[in-house]
Amino acid sequence: MRKMNYLFGAAALGLGVLVGTLGMSLLTNSSSPTSFISKLRGQDKIQTVSGTLSDPVKIPPNSDVVAGGTSENENENGSKIPQTNHGTLTDKESLLAQQIITDYKQNIGIFFGAWKSTDMATFRAKLAKAYTGDLFEKHARRAEEYLVQGIGLDVTQITFDQIDVESVSENAATLRVDYRYTARDYNLTDGAPVGDEHEQIVQVRVNLVKQTSRWMITGESTIQ
C-alpha cells in the first residue's frame, strides 16, 4: 500500500511539472493557441519578421499617436488632398477628410496601447477614447479572454500603406485602409514582451462617426 502511495505521488508530481512546463511554453510561444498575436486577425495573415520593414513607423513608449502614408495626392502648395473613389473632394470635404484620417490613425494607436492594460476597467476606459457602439463591446469581449490570462500585445511599429476616403459627411465617414504592424505577445505580469515578432497585415473598411469634436470608429469589416 505504501508503495502504491509513492507511485501515485511520483505520478502526480510528474504531471504537475509537465503542466507547468506546457503552460510556460504556451505563454511564450506566439504560435500557441493562447497567444494573442496568433488570433488577433487570423493566423493566415501573420508572418514572422525576418528583416526590416519598408518605411516603418516607430511607436514611442506610452504614446497613443501613430502616423503613416496615405493615398492622398499633393496639390501645388504641397498640402494633401484626399480623394474618394469618385474623384477629388471639395476644399471643405478635404479638410474634413484630413481630420478623419488623423483621428483614425490616433484611434489605432489607442487600440494597441489599450492591449497593455492589466485589467478590463483600464482597457475599456482607454478604448472608449477611440471606439463606440457594438464594435467597442466586441473588442472588450475579445480582450477579456486574454487579459485575464495575463496576455497582452506589444506593438513596436505601424505602416499605413493606403487610406482611401470612400465617403465623407459632417457626421459620418467610410475609409478603406491597408496597414501593417509589427507585434508580439506581452506578459502583463512581468510588463515585458515575449515570443517572436510578427508582421500583421490588416485590410479593412472602416466606418466612423463624429462624437463632439472627435471621430470614433464604429464599424470595421475585413476585406478579403
Count Cβ atoms below 10 Å from residue 166 Cβ, excluding itself.
Answer: 14
Per-residue pLDDT of the chain (224 residues; tens, 9 = 90+): 554 444 444 444 444 433 343 343 434 444 444 566 666 544 434 443 333 333 333 444 444 434 444 444 444 333 344 555 545 677 888 899 999 999 999 999 999 999 999 999 999 999 999 999 999 999 999 999 999 999 999 999 999 999 999 999 999 999 999 999 999 999 999 999 998 898 999 999 999 999 988 999 999 999 87
Cell of 25: 511554453
Query: What phi and psi values does residue 122 have, to the nearest 5 degrees?
Result: -65, -40
Residue from 72, 77, 71, 100 nearest 167 by CA: 100
Cα–Cα dist 68/162, whole Å: 9
Q: Which of 188, 120, 194 is nearest to 149 (CA)?
A: 188
Q: What is the pLDDT of residue 223?
A: 87
How many angstroms separate the CA atoms of 123 and 147, rounded?
9
CB atoms within 10 A of CB 78: 6
pLDDT for the residue 94: 86
User: Helix, strand, or coil here: 202?
Assistant: strand
Q: What is the pLDDT of residue 35?
A: 65
Quote the CA–CA distance of 201 and 203 in Å, as a whole number.
7
What is the per-residue pLDDT for 79?
Answer: 36
* Vertex 175 angle, CA 72 and 139, to 5°: 135
